[in-house]
Amino acid sequence: MNAFNPARFRAQFPAAIDAGVYLDSAATALRPQAVIEATRQFYSLSAGSVHRSQSAGARRLTARYEAARETVARLIDAPAPETIVWTRGATEAINMVAQCYARPRLRPGDEIIVSVAEHHANLVPWLMVAQQTGARVVKLPLNAHRLPDVEQLPALITPRSRILALGQMSNVTGGCPALGRAVALAHAAEMVVMVDGAQGAVHFPADVQRLDIDFYAFSGHKLYGPTGIGVLYGKPDLLAAMTPWLGGGKMVSEVTFDGFTPRPAPWKLEAGTPNIAGVIGLSAALEWLSGEDIAGGESWSRELATLAEEALAKRPGFRTFRCQEASLLAFEFAGVHHGDLVTLLSEYGITLRAGQHCAQPLLAELGLSGVLRASFAPYNTKSDVDALVDAVDRALELLVE
Ligand code: PMP
């Protein structure tokens, strides 16, 4: 493995040169050359689809496509490649659990406990399935550190509690709840735990077996891979219990005019021609990442966020919502609208995000109408931090009376 070297890491990302000061990796990461090349090769050199043709090329492609599940399984220490379902992203993975696992099981009055810190992708699917079944969504509130208050679970859990939905890392505060403890408390009540790893997977890929996670979802594009591809991990017995939601080719082993027999998981959950290029690009991203020092890159990203926080904190009115020295820095300046500030920053060549970050309940809890978020990745540099701080100074000069 290569010991982390910021310049060497950055040099592998062509877009790091063109994208200016890119501080929005929590929305979507840049892609390394290895991913671009794997995708280019797929589109320029391969012919045929997967699981559909007897040609040698198509069989090779199918083998590669299936082997990619093993690559994902290694990343999260899943017990078998068949526990990996390809999805369009974390959003689809969570919806799949809500519709294919939870919906047939939930009864009126059952409870789904969801942390208030969740991205809409790990709340709305539960609200939808609650509407469909008569179940109730119960709020797990924040503690004083702005983290989901896992210690309140024993008080919230009732004999009707069925599912706990919790994010590994908040996309606003960067806060990471005590996952192992949450899973243990939920399992003691025989609940099933859905962990949204969309933000966490790139920083600290979860070890799903050690943490005993039931379902884990993430998106390729936040992990240096392509858009439109993601993963649902599920324990084998839970995947086996899921009812397919999309019917069509390749999810069935036998079809008559009157009925069908689904294939086993994961294939029964993957109807239709899949995103082969996405799978190949994601597996290239993970293979490339396995040769990189993820922990070294993570401390570098955190160090940059800390430098930015320390510098910005010297400006009047600065307030941050950053948790646990995260690589995300959510911040605002008193009296300055986040939308005005982000517009000016973008004029000055700084890309970051402002608004509600698809986490309206969390922002309401924090008493915010919107917030800026600078998210740092290992390809960022100290000069990116300086550029952010300079740009903020220029913007504040215009915006503050
Ligand atoms: N959960 C979290 C915490 C996220 O940050 C995101 C993406 N912003 C998602 C879920 C949804 O991911 P996607 O849009 O890739 O499906």
Ligand 1 test: best mutation among 91, 92, 120, most atoms within 8 Å of CB? 91
pLDDT of residue 186: 98
List the beta strands (DSSP E) in 215-301: 215-219, 230-234, 252-255, 260-262
Same domain, 188 and 334: no
Same domain, 164 and 243: yes
Cα 58 to ligand 1 centroid, rounded to whole Å: 32
Would residue 354 count as lying in a domain?
yes
Same domain, 246 and 326: no
Beta-bridge partners for 99:
none
Q: Of 233, 259, 290, at which residue does a domain stop? A: 290
Q: Of 268, 290, 312, at which residue does a domain stop? A: 290
- Ligand 1 neighbours, Cβ below 6 Å, are 89-91, 119, 121-122, 167, 171, 196, 198-199, 219, 358
Residue numbers in the chain where pLDDT is lower than 50: none
Structure tokens at 230: 């993601």
Cα 89 to ligand 1 centroid, rounded to whole Å: 8
Contact residues for 238 (Cβ-Cβ < 8 A; gap 6+): 101, 192, 214, 215
If residue 17 lies in a helix (H) or strand (E), which one and from where to where?
Answer: helix 14-18
Cα 118 to Cα 361: distance, rounded to the nearest angstrom? 8
pLDDT of residue 206: 85
pTM above 0.90, yes or no: yes
CATH of the domain at 364: 3.90.1150.10
Beta-bridge partners for 136:
111
- pLDDT tens digits, one per residue of 350-363: 999 999 999 999 99
Cα 231 to Cα 217: distance, rounded to the nearest angstrom? 6
Residue indicated by tokens 């505060």: 173
Same domain, 66 and 11: no
Same domain, 281 and 299: no
Same domain, 181 and 258: yes
Same domain, 285 and 311: no
The DSSP 8-state label assigned to residue 24 in this structure reads B
Same domain, 254 and 309: no
**Number of domains forming the structure of the chain:** 2
Would residue 71 count as lying in a domain?
yes
Same domain, 149 and 175: yes
Closest by CA to 196, choosing from 210, 185, 182, is: 182
Same domain, 253 and 319: no
pLDDT of residue 139: 98
Catalytic residues: 358
Would residue 223 count as lying in a domain?
yes
pLDDT of residue 219: 98
Residue 66 phi/psi, 5° resolution? -75, -35
Count the neighbouring beta carbons within 10 Å of the beta carbon of residue 187: 14
pLDDT of residue 148: 98
pLDDT of residue 56: 80
Same domain, 179 and 277: yes
The SS3 call for residue 356 is: coil
Cα 138 to ligand 1 centroid, rounded to whole Å: 21
Closest by CA to 110, choosing from 187, 191, 214, is: 191
If residue 350 lies in a helix (H) or strand (E), which one and from where to where?
Answer: strand 350-351
Q: Is 212 exposed, middle or buried (0-12, 13-18, 19+ CB in 10 A)?
A: middle
Structure tokens at 75: 């990343």
Same domain, 137 and 249: yes
Range of the domain at 297: 6-30+293-399
